[in-house]
Amino acid sequence: MTGSQTSFRLGYVPGVTPAKWARIWQERSPRIPLDLIQVTAAEAVGLVRSHQADAALLRLPIDRTGLHAIPLYVETTVVVIPKDHVVTAVEEVTTEDLADELMLHPLDDVLDWERPPGRLIDERPATTADAIALVAAGTGLVVVPQSLARLHHRRDLTFRPLVDAPESGVALSWPEEETTELMEQFIGIVRGRTANTSRGPAKPTASKPTAGKRQTGAGKQTGSGKQAGGGKQQAGSGKRQAGDGRRRKPRR
């Protein structure tokens, strides 16, 4: 791709909401469309490697061979439960609390663990959406990143943070061979740079996202997440409340 390309194609996986970044892009580059392409978590890396997209907002971990990746934030992990479940009596849950629960493990699970806690149901649902529908039917419980619990929200279900489970990191990834001017522009947007901020070369990192960093201006949503120092967000009762579940990476 060169600086003369007529659009910028951005892939994104379920649960990631690029709307605010897309709005900033439109304000700064009204003559260059930002084409949004929704893909599954499993398809995202291939989309970038095959140049069907210029970049993608995807979930870590990934095989980074031939790819840049800038970690953006880490989501809170939650357990999805019926509203009348006994777990709703507490603000947070541990894996030990779920030891006797029947648990669903969808085939498209994005959490980096060998197996969820509890007593796993042998038949695995094809998708997270299918698993959440089964939770509503009383079949079992499922553990997912908080954004997916919100994406597949049902009136008869709720969720609670699972404090000792793996977390899902979201990153911006693009091909390693070149970083175009438009790519630099989008990097600046997700990092919260203003339109007048000078742009230097992108410096991707291979390190995993960590907790407790200052949030960037882009991509914030109203609600709670994990805040500076890795501690729990306080809200009246002193216990962490449900929100958008994002922890931000530092600006670079």
- Report domain extents, the chain: 8-74+167-248, 77-161
pTM: 0.74
Q: Which helix (H) or strand (E) holds 185?
A: helix 181-190
| pLDDT tier, 177 (very low <50, low <70, confident <90, very high otherwise) | confident
* Strand partners of residue 81: 158
For residue 158, give both structure tokens: 């709720």
Neighbouring residues of 220: CB distance < 8 A, sequence distance ≥ 6: 20, 246
CATH superfamily ID and name for 77-161: Periplasmic binding protein-like II (3.40.190.10)
Integer Cα distance of 228 and 161 in angstroms: 18
Distance in angstroms (rounded) separating the CA atoms of residues 61 and 46: 14
Q: What architecture is the 8-74+167-248 domain classified under in CATH?
A: 3-Layer(aba) Sandwich (3.40)
pLDDT at 227 over 60: no
CA-based radius of gyration for the chain: 19
Are the C-beta atoms of residues 77 and 67 closer than 8 Å to each other? Answer: no
pLDDT band at 2 (very low <50, low <70, confident <90, very high): very low
- Same topology, domains 8-74+167-248 and 77-161? Answer is yes
Mean pLDDT score, 147-162: 97
Dist CA 54 CA 209 (whole Å): 23
